[in-house]
Structure 1
């Protein structure tokens, strides 16, 4: 509950800041009539919509599991990132088109000094708020907060480019610096919008998080016990901040149900202790076969058919496969 409240609070901060900066940037545009400043202001409108949707997604992701959503509501955060990326992508295309039109029919930039100071102040605010959102989003394992913070980083970069363009216009009087900056910003926004959409699709399609998988494998390898003869078919799915993990563990076939349950519980508690987020884990126990004897370290095994020869290390290459890799020895 505390984690949900913190995420919502930071989401609200992003929304309030975005609304305030929109007014500042459009005021700067009204003073300068700069194409680069207009580009920056239009992107900030997208910030308001995306921050609002991100806040709503944070609220939904914090709801408990129910009959219709047995894995919770965390996936909505990836949808939020995709929505944000799609809006940014569309805005980038429009901005690029508008910049081309301005390049064909350039107009004078007025009062660039005012525009420079106003935009510089918004860039500093965006950098600070973006840093806070990314830092807290990673600590809270919130894709929506991280995505929102990264968007503010991009907005700050766009603003700094606009400031640089105004400085060049003020020094040289050449308005082509203004429209050229708008073209660069339009292309930059399109590329980053596409990347956000790509990250959203990866999350919604349950693309494997290699770093998290390696963490789980490393924990199992470090605390490996003799009854854990083999681990395979390890799968990890992230639902917003929460993790769903399942795998198969090969154990001695003569273990009682109570003994197998004890080992499964040890494994689940071991993995859960590795993460600060909620972890839902299911372990399926498989009975061993005699082919596993050469790599089994069970002491005084009453049914051993082959002597132990070598221990097969658990790695990313063999643990994620749906195979008992000891059978390949």
Structure 2
């Protein structure tokens, strides 16, 4: 199943679950169920954003966007996390209101059944999307899978709280679980924000990733003198790597080009969507620049 079909599947499943949770939430009067419906509605909007962001990100480079459209995924991931923060704040406000105005929960069995059904659907869909996201190194798809996976835990927690409220009559459990749900999803959103936002500022790849790339370059150290001005960044599912490679002055253009092709090919095996730019410098130029 391709990425577009996966995101459509996510949109449809989220829409159905949102409707179920909100309807049952208002029927039962449970702020925890309603809050979970709001959480799922954020997942629905996130899936819609993911659908459009992936379609944009997959567009080839054009005259106005010579570096491609990869950052559309990072923008989408950032927007999705901000939506989760908004949902979390709303849930906390509603839960505090429920503490001051408690009321009995109706039809708890119905609420429990919907929560368990939503958890089952989301665990299946999230695993499918996450597998595809890891393969494609897609930030937008990873964030979408995370949305769905957090729904699994929050749905199970709320199902347990409804059961406890029914068995004990402790109405304060409902808003308490809702607040805990809000804190949890906001914490997960913060972790995702740290992954999706930095590439918008052209943050370098991790040290581990850069060390692996340098190891590939140095595997050819017998054929060049040194390399410098090494830079990396990520945009969506693509990595951009560029550096200057100093080679012996007697090296022919053909051999220099072949060396660059070999290095680029090996880096591409490590990062399938890597965009590698190597600037060749003859040794004489390096000496000249150093003496200027």
Q: Distance in 1 between matches of 2:192 and 2:239?
A: 21
Aligned to 2:253: 257
Matched pairs, number: 287
Structure 1 runs (4+) deviating above 6 angstroms are: none
Q: Which segment is superposed worse, 75-84 or 193-202?
A: 193-202
**Match for 1:244 among 240, 243, 247?**
240
- For the Cα contact (< 8 Å) 1:44–1:155, is it kept in 2? yes
Deviation, structure 1 residue 39: 0.6
Structure 2 unaligned spans of 5+:
none
Aligned to 1:212: 209
Question: Are residue 20 (structure 1) and residue 11 (structure 2) matched?
Answer: no
Q: Distance in 2 between matches of 1:212 and 1:132?
A: 26
Q: Is the partner of 1:226 in helix, strand or coil?
A: helix
Q: Distance in 2 between matches of 1:203 and 1:128?
A: 29
Aligned to 1:108: 104
Aligned to 1:321: none
Q: How does 1:1-329 map to 2 (within 5 A)?
A: 6-210=2-206, 211-221=208-218, 223-275=219-271, 277-288=272-283
Deviation, structure 1 residue 29: 1.0
Q: Distance in 2 between matches of 1:256 and 1:134?
A: 47
- Residue-by-residue CA offset, 1:66-89 (whole Å, 9 max, x unaligned): 001111111000011011011111
Give me the CA root mean square deviation. Answer: 2.1
- For the Cα contact (< 8 Å) 1:85–1:195, is it kept in 2? no
Deviation, structure 1 residue 99: 0.7
Deviation, structure 1 residue 139: 0.4
Q: Distance in 2 between matches of 1:124 and 1:138?
A: 22
Deviation, structure 1 residue 11: 1.0
Structure 1 unaligned spans of 5+:
293-326
Q: Is the partner of 2:223 in helix, strand or coil?
A: coil
Q: Distance in 2 between matches of 1:285 and 1:57?
A: 36
- For the Cα contact (< 8 Å) 2:139–2:196, is it kept in 1? no
Deviation, structure 1 residue 288: 3.3
- For the Cα contact (< 8 Å) 1:22–1:45, is it kept in 2? yes
Deviation, structure 1 residue 225: 4.0
- Residue-by-residue CA offset, 1:70-113 (whole Å, 9 max, x unaligned): 11111000011011011111111111111111111111111212
Deviation, structure 1 residue 209: 2.2
Q: Distance in 2 between matches of 1:88 and 1:202?
A: 18
- For the Cα contact (< 8 Å) 1:232–1:249, is it kept in 2? yes
Scaled by the length of structure 2, what TM-score is found?
0.91
Q: Is the partner of 1:136 in helix, strand or coil?
A: helix
Distance 1:215 1:13, change over 3 A: farther
- Residue-by-residue CA offset, 1:178-208 (whole Å, 9 max, x unaligned): 1110111122222223333332211211222
